[in-house]
Structures are given as structure tokens and as C-alpha cells.
Amino acid sequence: MKTVLYSLLGAVAMLAAGVTTSAAGDRYADRPPVMVSPDLSAPWVLQLGRAPGIVRQNRQAVRQRPAYAQPDRVQTAAVQAPARRMVMRPQINPVYLPQEVAYNGPQKPGTIVIDTTQNFLFLIEKNGKARRYGVGTGKPGFEWSGTHKITNKRVWPDWRPPAAMIKREAAKGRYLPTYLAGGMENPLGARALYLGTTEYRIHGTNQPWTIGGAVSSGCIRMRNEDVVDLYERVNVGTTVEVI
């Protein structure tokens, strides 16, 4: 009897104090941690669930999931759904890789000769030899020939498209920047050799699969690794013959 009386008095005391069992549990229970993208250096948009390591389930798939469906299957489908297809780029023809070849032209050692019909650049060496590289050259309407000197050399050069190029590309619906700092996204690639007072350069490219074709607006393209190699072998003042 006393035990029952004490229990009733305890319950009355708790009600008088405005405390319930569930309220007390909620008040002192540990709250779940706030989940933040682990990559806090990523742009803020990426932190809204698209940063690396964060997977969001497809809401429609969750709603339509049968009661007996396994959660791991739904998660796998959600991960695979946004996956992008890999774009396979054509490989460069091995003939355009650097190699030593015989050369019997009249140019002196140290001269650069660019054959725009075969898409080869030759760095003339001694003893009837030349170092040959594959290049990309001017597309139809942008071919040219002539002799110039290398007047400047740049590492990871900036790009300032000529006004005529900006206007020409805008007419096609492609708007170029007026300036782009050097780097991997820069179309001039890792190195640039400037030719005389022209707007033409021998430069690298971030599209190595274009080597061997008529693809540029007149500049001579090389693979980044090849233009770095050539850059180290020639100096300002080197003669360049484009034929």
C-alpha cells in the first residue's frame, strides 16, 4: 500500500513540475551530428550533396521500392544513374611521335623546318640528321609559309586571342575570352615560341589527338611533351622556315 502511495505521489510531483518521461528524454538525448561535405575547399555548390564521397539516393526509386527490396540495390542504382560515359579520344598515330631521321636539305644545323603538307617539324642536326616531331597545322584557309626568327619564348603562356579570331568565332556562336591565363585549360599548352612579328606561334596543346591534322588558325601545334623538348633545344633567334 505504501509502495503504491509513493508511486502516485511521485507521478503527481512530476506532473506538477511539467515534466513528462518523453519530454525529459528529448531534452537530454544526444542530437544527431550535422553532416557537412568533407571537402570544405570545394565550391559551395559541390557541398550541397555532390562533393566526392557524398551519395544521394534517387527519391523516386526510394518511393517505388517494394517492401522486400534490398537497400544496397537501390543505393547501387542511385550511384550508377549519374555516372558519365567515358569519351574515348583517338590515339595519336605513332608516325607523329619524335624520332631521329635522315635529312639532306640545305638548311644549317639548328634551323627549324616545318612541312605543313606532311605535318612534320624538323629540327636540323649535324651529320645529315634531324629530330622530327608531328605537328598540327593551319586548317583550310589558314595555311601560310615564310621564314621568321623565334623572337620570344614563354613557359605556360597566357592567351590573348586576336580581335579577328574573336569576331570570327562569335559569328559561329562561340565566344572566346579576351584573356586566358596560362595553365592546363589554356589552348597554347605548356610552351610557346613566338615567330617574328606575326600572330603565329609554335605551341603546345591540350588536344594531342589533333596532331597530324590541319586544325589550327595558322599556329603550329605540338604535344605538350614535344614542345617542352623543343623549347629546351632552341634559343631566341633560331630561324624557322614554314613550307
Kindly list the catalytic residues: 203, 219
**Among residues 153, 120, 136, which one has the least CA distance to residue 218?**
136
Query: Which of helix, strand or coil describes residue 20?
Result: coil
Alpha helices of 91-223 — where are they, by DSSP H? 163-171
Rounded to an integer, what distance in angstroms lies between the CA atom of residue 102 and that of residue 164?
A: 40
Contacts (Cβ under 8 Å, ≥6 apart) of 122: 101, 103, 105, 112, 113, 114, 115, 130, 131, 132, 133
Joined together, the cell numbers standing for residue 217 give 588558325
